[in-house]
Amino acid sequence: MSFRLRVIVLMTVLSLAPYIVTMIVMGNVYRDDYERRIRDNMTHELDITNERIEQSFQSLRKDMAFIASLDTMDDLLTGDLDKRITNLLVLKKNDMQLIGWFDVIDTDGNVVASSNPDRIATSADSSGLFSVPIRSSFDDNQLGQLTIHYSFENLDRFLPESEHSHYHLIVEDQQVTGPLNTDPVISVSRVLTDWPAVTVTLEQERQFAFSLLNSAENLFVIVLLVGIFVIASIAFFVATIIVKPILQLSGTAESITQTQDYSQRVAINRNDEIGQLSHSFNLMINGMQDMISRLKAENENRIKLAKEKDRAEMLQDLSTKLSRYLSPQIYESIFSGEQDTTLGSSRKKLTVFFSDIVDFTSTTDQMESEDLTNLLNQYLKEMSDIALRYGATIDKYIGDAIMIFFGDPKTLGVSEDAKACIEMALEMQRRVRELKSEWGAAGYSKPFSIRIGIHTGYCTVGNFGTENRLDYTIIGSAVNLASRIEGQAEPGTVFVSEDTQLLVRDHFSMTPTSTFTPKGFSQPIQLFRVISSGVTRSEIVIEESGFSLKLDSQELTEAGRQDIKTRLLNLIDDL
Amino acid sequence: MKCWLLILLILFSQSTLSADFAVIVSATSGIDVLSSERIRDIFLKKRRFAQGKRLVPVNLLGSKPPRLAFERRILEMDRLNLQQYWTASHFKGVTPPATQASLASVKLFIEKVDGAIGYLPIEMVDDRVKVIYEF
């Protein structure tokens, strides 16, 4: 229900409620009172009618007493021989216009004279209304009685009829006169004193009795309807005045909702509650406009951040993919900004590592492609894991060969880099020996052996290639020398140059093996074979073709030590 | 006037010649004879008893000959005097005697009512009534 309709209904109800309540109360109360008055009037009218009837009865009694007292009644003694009594009774009946008859009855109960000739000489009955005694005019002896047989129809002359009110005579609970009215009526009744068996009832049609009141009620209803129309019209006018600014407010709110234009405002030109509401509405819109502006800016920032995040994730994903093609150190240097990705190089003293699988070409010819791929991938993975663990920079894989260097982009110092490189190489040889056992156990008949060459020297390190395709690598004679040393190394050994040996001789046990002059070098190069890590040997490893020995005296027990001595002596004897 | 004189002449001639009417009582009455004076007193209700018995006079209604003869010969009063008498008596509480409309009813009344006394033409007298005076 709209506010305007509520106002109209409320004003109409409040304005007309007292009128309606008064109308209802007066209608009910006054109707009862009105009916009581009608009954009183009807009772009064009925009493008057009854009184007239009673008076007529009294008059009749007197007339009968008078007739009974006439000398003519002496004729009763002669059996009304001259019909004087009969004539008198007929005259009286006609004079009264009596419906009924008079009987004169002697003391023997015989009808001596009657206004009804058929009654004469018959026995009297008790159907008479009332009787008066007849006494002789000369000695006052009772000669008989004068009885009147009175039809209730005689009472009709006392019962005035009108269009809307009717009298009824009820004789012994049966209505005997008057029209039967089936409409609702108001009725009052009285029993005749002189005729107890007769009840006189006066009825008045209820519709007629209340016609005045009904007319008044109809008038009330008409006035009420007119009042409703007038008050509703006034209420509509008032509600329109009240609702107009609210509708204006609502229209502005709806317009803002539809157009999303929060610059719209409600015109405030009043100082009442509606004006306050409009002011508050404008303040609310101000707040919403500010909030929406902030939300819009924040949303733009969020969208921007989301785009950047997506881009960062894409770059992260891309870099992750690219990282597999780069050494982790190179990758970290590039993405941390330490390494530039432009063409350029620098000279640094690096420790360069080369490894190669012995007789790889002949081995590949004897193995299935799938087996070769599995073995090679496992070998490269294992070696790469070891290299990364020692902080090496994996330059590239060249078939089965691995090129690694220490000292760029991160370096612990030339000596430490060389030391880490040799430790890495020893670890790789140990792991290859383990892999050989595993591969042998797995059924591969031609297990790998590797040789390792290490050299420390100045290299040119940087990005080589074009702007479109860069390759981070090292070049220089040190690289060539390291590769040549690797070629000089025996299977399962680690050969280092003298330059490297001088850097790490305090940390490893090494033995000079041979010298050689690689192509492009004028001076022979002294090579050293790395025996083990540490100067004081606790572990002895001897790898020769057809012979392998590993001894770690620190892990041996005394009993084990004696047993090993016995077995080695026996072995020497066998050799 | 001539008519009245003729009527009086006829009546007088009849009374002097023979009795035409009789004063009667019931046959069972104990009264046998009453004088005309006594009868007059009874009919004028100056006397109610005779010979120890209460008497009830009964007149013939109207102006029939028996009554006129009775009033002239017994009561010795004309109708005007008689009316004056009864008017005066009325104030004393004395009313005229009962009346019967016919001679037959007078006779029947006398038979039925104990002590009744009336008059009839002499030819109507039979053994049911007793003549106590003729006029």
* Burial (CB count <10 Å: 0-12, 13-18, 19+), residue A119: buried
Beta bridge partners of A186: A204
- Are A46 and A190 within 8 A, CB to CB? yes
The per-residue pLDDT for A571 is: 86
Pairwise CB contact (< 8 Å): A78 & B99: no
User: Does residue B11 belong to any structural domain of this protein?
Assistant: no
What mean pLDDT is predicted for residues A382-395? 90
Of B99, B104, B105, the CB nearest to A71: B99
How far, in Å, CA of A27 to CA of A520, rounded?
Answer: 138
Regarding whether A293 and A352 lie in a shared domain, the answer is no
The per-residue pLDDT for B3 is: 47
* Beta pairing class for A165-171 and A142-150: unpaired
Beta bridge partners of B131: B24
Check pLDDT > 80 for residue A344.
Answer: no
Pairwise CB contact (< 8 Å): B108 & A81: yes
Regarding whether A291 and A369 lie in a shared domain, the answer is no
User: Does residue A571 belong to any structural domain of this protein?
Assistant: no
Q: Which residues of B touch A81 (CB under 8 A)?
A: 100, 102, 104-105, 108
What mean pLDDT is predicted for residues B47-76? 91
The per-residue pLDDT for B9 is: 45
Regarding whether A312 and A369 lie in a shared domain, the answer is no
Q: Residue B29 is part of a domain; what is its CATH number?
A: 3.40.190.10
User: Does residue A546 belong to any structural domain of this protein?
Assistant: no
User: Does residue A217 belong to any structural domain of this protein?
Assistant: no
SS percent in chain A: helix, strand, coil, step 5: 55, 25, 25
Regarding whether A490 and A371 lie in a shared domain, the answer is yes
Instruction: Give Cα separations from A498 to A501, A509, A510 (angstroms).
Output: 5, 13, 11
- Are A115 and A80 within 8 A, CB to CB? no
- Are A463 and A428 within 8 A, CB to CB? no
Of A77, A82, A136, the CB nearest to B101: A82
Q: For A263, phi and psi rounded to 5 degrees?
A: -90, -10
How far, in Å, CA of A203 to CA of A161, rounded?
Answer: 10
Contacts of B73 (CB under 8 A, 6+ apart): B15, B21, B36, B135
Regarding whether A320 and A280 lie in a shared domain, the answer is yes
Regarding whether A117 and A184 lie in a shared domain, the answer is yes
| CA B23 to mean position of chain CA atoms | 6
User: Does residue B102 belong to any structural domain of this protein?
Assistant: yes
Contacts of A224 (CB under 8 A, 6+ apart): A16, A19, A20, A23
Percentage of the residues of chain B whose pLDDT score is greater than 70: 87
Question: Where does the pLDDT of residue A338 fall: very low under 50, low under 70, confident under 90, or very high at 90 and above?
Answer: low
The per-residue pLDDT for A454 is: 95
User: Does residue B26 belong to any structural domain of this protein?
Assistant: yes
Check pLDDT > 60 for residue B17.
Answer: no
Contacts of A285 (CB under 8 A, 6+ apart): A256, A262, A264, A265
User: Does residue B13 belong to any structural domain of this protein?
Assistant: no
Pairwise CB contact (< 8 Å): B105 & A75: yes
Regarding whether A274 and A358 lie in a shared domain, the answer is no
Amino acid at B30: G
Ramachandran category for residue A141: left, alpha or beta (phi over 0 → left; psi -120 to 50 → alpha): beta
Domain extent, residue B105, equals 19-134
User: Does residue A246 belong to any structural domain of this protein?
Assistant: no
**Angle formed by the axes of helices A3-69 and A211-259, nearest 10°:** 170
DSSP state of A412: S
For residue B57, is the peptide bond before it cis, meaning its omega torsion is within 30 degrees of 0?
A: no
The per-residue pLDDT for B13 is: 44
Min Cα–Cα distance to chain A from B61, Å: 10
User: Does residue A388 belong to any structural domain of this protein?
Assistant: yes
Closest by Cα among A288, A315, A299, A401 to A352: A401
Regarding whether A33 and A157 lie in a shared domain, the answer is yes
DSSP state of A205: E
Check pLDDT > 50 for residue B50.
Answer: yes
CA angle A87, A70, B124 (to 5 degrees): 70
User: Does residue A171 belong to any structural domain of this protein?
Assistant: yes
Pairwise CB contact (< 8 Å): A82 & B102: yes
Mean pLDDT for chain A overall? 85
**Angle formed by the axes of helices A414-442 and A369-389, nearest 10°:** 150
The per-residue pLDDT for A340 is: 64
Of B54, B56, B109, the CB nearest to A78: B109
The per-residue pLDDT for B73 is: 93
Regarding whether A77 and A146 lie in a shared domain, the answer is yes
Regarding whether A482 and A376 lie in a shared domain, the answer is yes
User: Does residue A338 belong to any structural domain of this protein?
Assistant: no
How far, in Å, CA of A240 to CA of A11, rounded?
Answer: 13
Percentage of the residues of chain B whose pLDDT score is greater than 90: 67
User: Does residue B118 belong to any structural domain of this protein?
Assistant: yes
Question: Where does the pLDDT of residue A447 fall: very low under 50, low under 70, confident under 90, or very high at 90 and above?
Answer: low
Number of domains in chain B: 1
Domain extent, residue A488, equals 343-537
**Chain B (36-55) residues lying within 8 Å, Cβ to Cβ, of chain A:** 54
Q: Which residues of A touch B101 (CB under 8 A)?
A: 75, 82, 84
Looking at the complex, does the CB of residue B104 fall below 8 Å from at least one CB of chain A?
yes
For the segment B87-134, what is each residue's pLDDT rounded down to a tens digit? Answer: 999 999 898 999 999 999 999 999 989 899 999 999 999 999 999 999
User: Does residue B12 belong to any structural domain of this protein?
Assistant: no
Among the ranges given (A125-134, A361-370, B74-83), the one the predictor scored with the smallest mean pLDDT: A361-370
Q: For B121, phi and psi rounded to 5 degrees?
A: -60, 145
Regarding whether A299 and A366 lie in a shared domain, the answer is no
Number of domains in chain A: 3
Beta bridge partners of A525: A516
- Are A204 and A39 within 8 A, CB to CB? no
Pairwise CB contact (< 8 Å): B112 & A78: yes
The per-residue pLDDT for B104 is: 93
- Are B134 and B86 within 8 A, CB to CB? no
What mean pLDDT is predicted for residues A65-83? 89
The per-residue pLDDT for A353 is: 95
Three-state SS sequence of A232-283: HHHHHHHHHHHHHHHHHHHHHHHHHHHHCCCCCCCCCCCCCHHHHHHHHHHH
User: Does residue B41 belong to any structural domain of this protein?
Assistant: yes
Residue A25: how many CB atoms within 10 A of its CB?
10
Of A78, A81, A139, the CB nearest to B56: A139
User: Does residue A247 belong to any structural domain of this protein?
Assistant: no
How far, in Å, CA of A390 to CA of A416, rounded?
Answer: 11
Question: Where does the pLDDT of residue A555 fall: very low under 50, low under 70, confident under 90, or very high at 90 and above?
Answer: low
For the segment A237-280, what is each residue's pLDDT rounded down to a tens digit? Answer: 888 887 787 888 888 888 888 888 888 888 888 788 878 888 88
Residue A195: how many CB atoms within 10 A of its CB?
19
DSSP state of B97: P
Check pLDDT > 50 for residue A520.
Answer: yes
Q: Which residues of B touch A71 (CB under 8 A)?
A: 95, 98-99
Q: For A346, phi and psi rounded to 5 degrees?
A: -150, 160
* Dihedral (CA of A336, A338, A341, A347) sign: negative
Regarding whether A349 and A316 lie in a shared domain, the answer is no
What mean pLDDT is predicted for residues A278-294? 88
Looking at the complex, does the CB of residue A140 fall below 8 Å from at least one CB of chain B?
no
Check pLDDT > 80 for residue A532.
Answer: no
The per-residue pLDDT for A158 is: 86
For the segment A153-175, what is each residue's pLDDT rounded down to a tens digit? Answer: 888 888 887 888 888 888 877 77
Is the ipTM higher than 0.90? The answer is: no
The per-residue pLDDT for A497 is: 92
Of A77, A84, A139, the CB nearest to B109: A77
Looking at the complex, does the CB of residue B109 fall below 8 Å from at least one CB of chain A?
yes
